[in-house]
Structure 1
Amino acid sequence: MAQKTVFITGCSEGGIGDALAKSFHKKGMRVFASARNLAKVQHLKEMGLDVVQLDVADGDSIREAVETVKAATGGTLDFLVNNSGLGYSVPLLDSDVSVAKKMFDVNVFGVVTVTQAFAPLLIASKGTIINIGSVLGKMPLPWQGYYNASKAAVALITDQMRIELSPWGVRAILVNTGAIRTKFFDNLANTPVLPEGSLYYPAKDVIEPALAGAGVEKNAMDVNSYAEAVVNNATRSSPKKHLWIGGAALLTWLASTFGWSTIWDLLLPSFINLPAITNKIRTAEKVE
């Protein structure tokens, strides 16, 4: 039996893509692990994985990656994992739409353009697309509005892919990812802060820790256990089309499945300490 192949975007060390690459490798597959900066996947190369430079927002970079895989596999690919993603933590009132557009270029349009480019290889092997989504696509977690919207788009796009590519036997799986312990926030180039002119500035001591990920890893799932579950599902004869996994995944599934969307109006204010934020803002307004 020919060795199965998988291409994964966003495999920088310490993240979800890194863990997925290792897990697929343990399954005996040939793994093409990609990243914008090859130095961040050097450890995977040393483990025997193929590493590929890829910027999912750059058409030339995508085409070069496809040609690399095509030459190595003879024109087939069994699994494509769209994992690359950017975060953007900021209140919507303070957001910069140009930054949000760059995030959508990676989180949403990158998923489509990479899939378009690899489609002939996937069709040749009746392969599987795995899009790494987020429970935040179903949950209005404050200060993450644009990111949440990008993941909501990925969820719908995955369902679209599954239907539109079914004539060729290509599958599409959405992984609704909950809280996972990774180096995501540790690897941020700059710690998110509120601009001084923000209407929320009086509550910066409450909000800024949340922007930097404080509390996110409470009840979070180990990234290697997460990766193993994702790979095990993908390699089943009948994989789940929507895999819910990680911290808060079960609660989010219940809320979205049974129409309990109003539960977020009850739970999220307490989670972000909204009463304290409101009090600080109103106190500052009275002083003015």
Structure 2
Amino acid sequence: MSAGKTSVLITGCSPGGIGHALAMEFHRRGCHVIATARNTAALKSMGDMGMSVVQLDVTDTASIAACKAEVTKITDGKLDILINNAGRTHTIPALDMELDDVRATYDANVFGPMLMCQAFAGLLIPARGLIINISSVSAVVPYLFGAIYSSTKGAINVYSRALRMELRPFGVRVMVAMTGTVRSNIASHSHRALPAGSLYRPVDDVFQRRLTFSQTNATMPTELYARKLVAAALKGEGWFGGLVGGSPDWFWAGGMALTGWMATLVPSWLSERLVARFFGIGRMARRIREAARTKKD
């Protein structure tokens, strides 16, 4: 690694997603990017640009250990920024969940970042580094058919708050990126379908629209989101213990992020009612009741 360059390790850098856009922007800003993915063949062009490419599956402890060993060599034992971006979407009614599927989502979205923070703390401490956990506005706003996904991001938020406090004596900072709707390939992955016995079959069209909601509602271009986050990440420690001028503890960006932030300022009962109105829960209820009456008749 070139001396003096800020080193940045990003999980989940496959093309078309937020991680890839972040890698490109950090690289443009002169940082040494360590781009990771389960399939490194997808990152060949990034390696050709001068980035380091390392295989990593955040749900596999052996893969994390191998990645740490390689990154230690690349960075001479210091890492400036760790970005926990890798994850999976999970859109399904809470009552229709399949536990193995839920466990896989928690493995990727919650336990993966936890393992990465634990593994790379020894590299971050010498650098007085920064951890960025990619979260979601859905962690603070009730998201229709998003109970599983939102709960993983809620877990990351709470985890990050305690982690921030515990790492403060070592000079390591923790930023939570509260992400709104951003152009990404996450919604292009194979979709779940309502099971035959789902209570929500009468409103399957609503469920189908919800599957791609993040890509069709006030969606921010991925490159713009990356520019905003990278600018915030590179602010550094700031002054007066980070109270002035440094990277923020909470970063809000993406479509509807401002609305999500404002929702945290009002009582939860009010924000829940407003979001229910936005998603048309009243109309859904009427359609479900009508379908039940028709079936009974």
1:43 to partner: Cα distance: 2.6
TM superposition shift of 1:215? 6.2
Q: TM-score, normalised by structure 2?
A: 0.91
Question: Is the CA contact (8 Å cut-off) linking 1:180 and 1:246 kept in structure 2?
Answer: yes
Letter in 1 for 2:289: R
SS of residue paired to 2:178: strand
Mapped partners of 2:192, 2:171: distance in 1: 43
Q: Name the structure 2 match of 1:100.
A: 102
Aligned residue number for residue 260 of structure 2: 252
Distance 1:81 1:145 in 2: 24
Match of 1:225 in 2: 224
Which SS does the other structure have where 1:218 is aligned?
coil
Counterpart CA distance in 2 for 1:279 and 1:215 is 25
Distance 1:80 1:138 in 2: 24
The structural deviation recorded for 1:273 is 2.9
1:232-254 deviation line (CA, Å, top 9, x unaligned)? 11111311110111111111112
1:115 to 114, 117, 127: 117
| Partner residue of 2:15 out of 13, 16, 22 | 13
SS at match of 2:204: helix
Alignment of 1:105-254 (within 5 A): 105-186=107-188, 188=189, 190-210=190-210, 212-214=211-213, 216-236=215-235, 237=238, 238-254=246-262
Distance 1:58 1:191 in 2: 24
Q: Report the residue type matching 2:91 in the other structure.
A: S
- State the alpha-carbon separation in 2 of the partners of residues 273 and 215 from structure 1: 17
Deviation at 1:103, TM superposition (A): 0.6
TM-score with structure 1 length normalisation? 0.94
Query: 1:161, CA displacement in angstroms?
Result: 1.5
User: What is the distance in 1 between the residues matched to 2:219 and 2:93?
Assistant: 24
Residue 260 of structure 1: CA displacement? 3.3
**Maintained 8 Å contact 2:141/2:275:** no
What residue ranges of structure 2 are gaps of 5+ in the alignment? 239-245
- SS of match in other structure, 1:173: strand
* Aligned counterpart in structure 2 of residue 286 of structure 1, from 262, 275, 293: 293
Task: Indicate if the aligned counterparts of 1:180 and 1:217 stay in contact, CA closer than 8 A.
Answer: no
The separation in 2 between residues aligned to 1:249 and 1:32, in whole angstroms, is 28
Could you tell me how far apart the structure 1 residues matched to 2:172 and 2:204 are? Answer: 47
Q: Quote the sequence identity (%).
A: 37
- Equivalent-residue separation in structure 1 for 2:220 and 2:108 (angstroms): 25
Once superposed, what is the RMSD of the aligned Cα atoms?
1.4
Whether contact under 8 Å (1:138, 1:252) holds in the other structure is: yes
Alignment check: 8 A CA contact 1:194 1:208 kept? no
Q: Secondary structure at the match of 2:83?
A: strand
- Counterpart for residue 70 of structure 2: 68
Question: Per the alignment, in what secondary structure is the counterpart of residue 280 of structure 1?
Answer: helix
